[in-house]
Amino acid sequence: MSMQDPIADLLTQIRNAQAAKKSIVKLPFSTIKLEITKVLQDEGYVSDYKVVDVTPAKKKLEIALKYYNGAPVISSISRVSRPGLRIYKSRDGLTKVLGGLGISIVSTSKGVMSDKQARALGQGGEVLCTVT
């Protein structure tokens, strides 16, 4: 079975693992998933990640989830742009999520980054997801 939207799969796996109070979530590797995970770690939403070689042809991405006082650090994570409806924003169109308490993850021509970094670099792009 082919996966239609790997980013939505990543977000759903994180949501489900946090609901089950898992400390680590393992999922199939892809470069876009790795870049999104790097942004989540830089912003303090996950504690760690690593790429594990299961076989020479298959890799897995392991993400260590972060909790504070027993509650997950990520309260909500949702997909914005999707394969059926892409959402692009200019640098002026990148609004703050919850007044700056959350982030948007944006795919720009300079790479995948948070909305704060994109505004600082004067970049716009495809809004992949929002995290609070």
Q: Is residue 13 part of a domain?
A: yes
Q: Is residue 1 part of a domain?
A: no
Predicted model pTM: 0.93
Average pLDDT for the chain: 95
Q: Is the pLDDT of residue 40 over 90?
A: yes
Model pLDDT, residue 132: 95
CA distance 97 to 95: 6
Q: Is residue 38 part of a domain?
A: yes
Q: Is residue 123 part of a domain?
A: yes
CA distance 132 to 121: 22
Model pLDDT, residue 56: 81
pLDDT tens digits, one per residue of 87-99: 999 999 999 999 9
Averaged pLDDT for residues 63-74:
96
CATH number at residue 85: 3.30.1490.10
List the one residue out of 98, 94, 92 whose CA is nearest residue 107. 94
Q: Is residue 73 part of a domain?
A: yes
Q: Is residue 39 part of a domain?
A: yes
The two tokens of residue 39 are 């942004």
Buried b (16+ CB within 10 A) or exposed e, 17-37: bbeeeeeebebebbeebbbbb
> How many structural domains is the chain composed of?
1
pLDDT tens digits, one per residue of 51-65: 999 888 899 999 999
Count of C-beta atoms within a 10 Å radius of residue 94: 20
Q: Is the pLDDT of residue 3 over 80?
A: no
More reliable by pLDDT, 71 or 57: 71
Percent above pLDDT 90 for the chain:
93
Confidence of residue 1 (pLDDT cuts 50, 70, 90): very low
Q: Is residue 102 part of a domain?
A: yes
Give the range of the structural domain holding residue 97, as residue numbers without chain letter: 6-131
Model pLDDT, residue 54: 86
The two tokens of residue 67 are 């909790």
